[in-house]
Amino acid sequence: MDIDEARAAAVAAGCGASVYTDAAALIADPAVEAVLIASPDAFHAEQAIACIDAGKPVLCEKPMATSVADGARVLQAEAAAGRRLVQVGFMRVYDQTHADLRDLLARGEIGRALSFRGQHVNPLRRRATIDEAIVNSLIHDIHSARWLMGAEISQVFVQWVPSAPEQSRSARYAIVQLAFADGAIGTLEWNGDSGYGYEIVVEITGETGSARTVSHGSPVLRQGSKVSQAVTPDWPQRFSRAYIDEVQIWVDAVREGEPNGPSAWDGYMSLVVADTCIRSVESGLPEKAAGMERPALYNPR
């Protein structure tokens, strides 16, 4: 579906799909069994709720909503349905080096996790505001921190460098200091214009060692008194395998019964932390995130 029918038709021609120009019509069509939402962020919550109301499994790209209130509406709709229908597009869960890091932590190889360091390096796509950087981009790192550390984030402190001094809400570089509910600490670093490409790095320090993701698969070239390694230009190239695995595993899971990836609760709690970050932007101080009881619907299976 696309509001640009010609563009939708061009994609459909390549894969024998039907074309829609209206999301509600697509979601309501009895021939449609499941929905992947990759529309602009502002439409995610209402479209996810429409899928829930239609009883259709939905893979909703992050962020699940653009506000905590809309995120809560998605949770309420799923609670009313009484079953999990929503998966949120935190696809780093399907990235091999992130999954390997999670397994290493689960085996206790570095003991109790003491700190999380996330680096999110973007090439310039467009000038973002600090609010967009948090809700659209850093939302990935917020989820990675919760997921890999196995703990909720209880306090944040945001500092940033505007991309234009006269536009105070513009964002060129940001650092978010984290405190976790279990006493661990961390930082998220966000770069909106790296000057060299796209890079995502996670490093976790534990009691008996530290572990860091591998951010490039490309060979290291030694030539002409230099050592160099290619860096992916942007996120589609860096995470192409993870996106494909995310969708295939989601399709297989919903065919079996229900989604088994990041849930609407993960989508909601990431929004709670993002909202707390924006409160820190407003106050210029560390801000506490409201602690919340996880509904039984989202208990680990």
Looking from the CA of 79 toward its CB, the CA atoms found within 13 Å total 10
Does residue 270 touch ligand ISE according to CB under 6 A? no
Closest CA to 138 of 146, 218, 58, 236: 146
Q: Is 286 left (phi over 0), alpha (psi -120 to 50) or beta?
A: beta
Query: What's the rounded Cα separation, in Å, for the pair 17 and 9?
Result: 9
Closest CA to 279 of 20, 86, 67: 67
Binding mask 20-59 for ligand ISE (x = CB under 6 A): ----------------------------------------
The least distance separating ligand ISE from the CB of residue 117, rounded to whole angstroms, comes to 17
The least distance separating ligand ISE from the CB of residue 234, rounded to whole angstroms, comes to 8
Question: Identity (one letter) of the amino acid at 203?
Answer: E
Number of residues that bind ligand ISE (CB under 6 A): 5
The least distance separating ligand ISE from the CB of residue 235, rounded to whole angstroms, comes to 4
Binding region for ligand ISE (CB under 6 A) out of 10-18, 94-102, 136-144, 271-279: 136-144
The least distance separating ligand ISE from the CB of residue 247, rounded to whole angstroms, comes to 14
Query: What's the rounded Cα separation, in Å, for the pair 159 and 177?
Result: 8
> Which of the residues 214 through 243 are near ligand ISE (CB under 6 A)?
235
Q: Which is nearer to ligand ISE, 193 or 258 (CB)?
A: 193
56 — phi, psi (to 5°)? -110, 130
The least distance separating ligand ISE from the CB of residue 139, rounded to whole angstroms, comes to 8
In Å, what is the CA distance from 139 to each residue of 65, 116, 176, 216? 11, 15, 12, 22
Answer for which of 73, 98, 117, 140 binds ligand ISE (CB under 6 A) is 140
Contact residues for ligand ISE (CB under 6 A)? 122, 136-137, 140, 235
